Amino acid sequence: MSIPKIFLFFSVLIGSQLCLAQEMVFNESDQERLDELVAKQGANSSFENISEIGTSFLGSPYVAHTIEGFQNEPLVLNFSAFDCTTFVENSLSLYLLQYENLEEYTTEEDHLKTYAQLLENIRYRNRERAGYTSRLHYFTEWIQNNEKKGYVFDITEDLGGSTIEKTLDFMSSHRSSYSALEDDRIFEDWVEIEKALNPMRFAVLGLDAIKTAAIEEGDIIAFATNIDGLDVTHTGIAIEKNKKIHLLHASSSGSVVISKKPLYKFAQGINRCTGIIIVRPALYDVF
């Protein structure tokens, strides 16, 4: 078994630029996989959408809480196992990586540092990794914060969705389910973050409207729920199969798969699902 490594990358920059110290957790196999994917993003090739990247992880095991259990919230990079959110985050980060001029980066360490910065920008509020509470835990906040960064666009309302308001407090109301919240200071900080978020406003496309909606391959799909205090229970990526939109996702049933049923039927089968949120990755250089 490959043992995770913890590395400190120091990038000392001059003048008005920032001096960055970044802690990362990853395996050698993750570095090798990243290099393989970078090689596919050569001058004569590019990924048209994130589903192309996501399919390279088909069969990878589903493992819950893959970025939990570390002290001081290091940046965890893991290409060997995913939960539904880390699958989307890594696929989006790899897609955006092609907008970087990788020809300027000639070493494996350069590739890793560039990718790590993208992943950190996406995973954390306002691009700042500053402990457990800085991570974008509620997926509607993840969407809105990454829309502000220019990485994605929430197109749910454009496709016919209706805006709702909801109080998000599932995490603080289920404190025992989140080991990090056992720390009183972290818990108190998190309660304040929830207060600042609420009421959360977001659009949802109803279950009956999914079949005819103009969802495209590569769109990020989030499944809204009527569970008290919670916004989203699952995420994945739209992919075309037999001329219908299906879901490419890290399934809790075992691995990264493409749904057997079309997206609209898949959504109908999710317990307490009220509809979906559709997010489209940026298609231009946002850096």
pTM of the model: 0.89
Residue 154 host element (H or E): strand 152-154
Query: What pLDDT, in 10s, does the model give residues 234-286?
Result: 999 999 999 999 999 999 999 999 999 999 999 999 999 999 999 999 975 44
Residue 281's H or E segment, with its range, is strand 273-281
pLDDT (tens digit per residue) in 32-86: 888 888 877 654 456 778 999 999 999 999 999 989 988 889 999 999 999 999 9
How many Å apart are CA 205 and CA 136, to the nearest integer? 22
The torsion defined by the Cα of 35, 108, 220 and 137, in degrees rounded to 10, comes to: 130
Domain 5-146 annotated CATH 3.30.565.10: no
Tell me the C-alpha distance between 219 and 205, whole Å.
Answer: 14
The helix-helix angle for 139-149 and 108-123 (nearest 10°) equals 120
- Ordered by start, the domain boundaries in the chain are 5-146, 152-281
Q: Which CATH number is 152-281's, of 2.30.260.10, 1.10.260.40, 3.30.420.40, 3.40.640.10?
A: 2.30.260.10
